Structure 1
Amino acid sequence: MNREQLAAEAVQAGRNSKHNLKLIRKYPDRMLPGKTEDGMEYLNRMIRFAEEEKKNARRAGRTLGLRSRLMSLLSSILADSPKERKEGTV
């Protein structure tokens, strides 16, 4: 498994952890007795890990910003556009 796949899985695990943490806070009685604190600590670690992975991806240049994406799209559209017509031709 390459680095990008691992990073994507870490981000997905972070999203899932946020959801699960909300559920634990809303329904603490559904956890095993004595395991609530451990479960919440684990989920918070997963969330922090996912956030760090997002930061690392940005530093390494693996993610493009919106401006970069738009510029790339615009340049590809302009490169594929037909040549300008000469004056006087139809």
Structure 2
Amino acid sequence: MWDSEWDWQVRQIRRNCFSVVYPSKAAVRMAKKSGTITLPISVQKAEVGETFSKLHVVSWLQECWVRITGIPDKLRQAPLIKEFLRVVGKTVLIDELTIVKP
């Protein structure tokens, strides 16, 4: 149904209510049409619905290059770098040729 590597970014809003980022609008439509989904690990049923508030874009972030220094050798891996870059914004590309490993 979707990429198994997708980071769902689940956030609890209140008791028994969570916000989830889906990989695409098509995935949201598919989940909503099925009515409920069964979560594989906990075997709990969940209902998929619309967001409580409609978000609107105030402005667009600009694309830029970010240079990071001082990364410990054992953490110089593209997936790990991408993970901690999430606090900056959406990572478009990591230049793996410049990840210098001793």
TMscore range, shorter length:
under 0.3
More helix by share: 1
Q: Which has the higher contact order (CA 8 A, sep 6+)?
A: 1
Q: Please, what TM-score do these two structures have when normalized by structure 2?
A: 0.22
Q: Please, what TM-score do these two structures have when normalized by structure 1?
A: 0.23
